[in-house]
Amino acid sequence: MQPTTRVRPRATRTRPRPRTGVRARARVRLLTAAVLVLTAAAALTGCDDGEGVRDEGPSTTSSQPLGLP
């Protein structure tokens, strides 16, 4: 008499489960990239010449000097 071998049962699913960890990380990377692009676009188009706010200086003075009426 030969020893019996155990047969592994077949999987009930026909499709493999999606790897949610990989998909979630890809979504986070895509969202981070989109935020960085929007931030860079907003910084460069903040002024007329595309140089950002570096060369513009303050827009107006908020208070008058004390010695002038």
* Beta carbons of 52 and 46 less than 8 angstroms apart: yes
Residue 25 host element (H or E): helix 20-44
**Confidence (pLDDT) at 23:** 85
Query: So where are the chain's domains?
Result: 20-45
Angle at 33 between CA 39 and CA 25, to 5 degrees: 145
Q: Is the dihedral of CA 53, 56, 59, 64 positive or negative?
A: positive
**Confidence (pLDDT) at 11:** 63
DSSP secondary structure letter of residue 69: -
pLDDT digits (tens, 9 = 90+) for 10-62: 666 666 766 678 888 899 999 999 999 998 888 777 666 655 555 555 556 66
**Confidence (pLDDT) at 67:** 62
* Ramachandran angles phi, psi of 43, nearest 5°: -70, -35
**Confidence (pLDDT) at 6:** 75
**Confidence (pLDDT) at 7:** 73
